[in-house]
Amino acid sequence: MKKLFCLLSMMTAIWIVASGCTQTEQGVVGGAAAGGAIGGIIGHQSGETGAGAAIGAAGGAVLGGLIGHSQEHKADAHSSHIQPCPNGHEVDVTGYGPGALVRCPIDNSTFTVQ
Ligand SMILES: [Zn+2]
């Protein structure tokens, strides 16, 4: 059990170091940490803590990377809700669907969201 606690504190340290990275990198590290911890617990019960942790970390890293990557794509889609008004001002059209009429806050011109 002491070994497992050591593993968990190590994973937590990696998680803190990685918190400044992109969401994909965070996902990989977070997934590896979670997978390693779960794998360690499963491995511990079957008498192979090290192997369980390694397998769990590898699987968790792949899964976490995929999750983190898809989150990044969602963020991209969200930040691209900027559209130019007829006079070229960049207007945030977040929350407006295609065809909605939006007013430019700078020159009060109206345009439809594409
Ligand atoms: Zn404008």
**36 shares its domain with 86:** no
**96 shares its domain with 56:** no
pLDDT, one tens digit per residue, over 16-69 is 566 777 888 887 777 777 766 766 776 788 888 888 778 677 877 777 677 678
Beta strands 110-112 and 90-92 are unpaired
Share of the chain above pLDDT 70, in %: 68
Written as six digits, the tokens of 102 are 């939006």
- What gap in Å lies between CA 50 and CA 77, rounded to an integer? 40
Question: What is the whole-number distance in angstroms between the Cα of residue 80 and the centre of ligand 1?
Answer: 18
Task: Say what the pLDDT of residue 83 is.
Answer: 95
CB 85 within 8 A of CB 107: yes
Structural domain count, the chain: 2
Q: Is the dihedral of CA 91, 97, 99, 101 positive or negative?
A: negative
Task: Say what the pLDDT of residue 76 is.
Answer: 58
**16 shares its domain with 70:** yes
Range of the domain at 94: 82-112
**64 shares its domain with 75:** yes
**12 shares its domain with 42:** yes
**53 shares its domain with 26:** yes
Residues lying with their CB under 5 A of ligand 1, a single-atom ion: 85, 87, 89, 104, 106-107
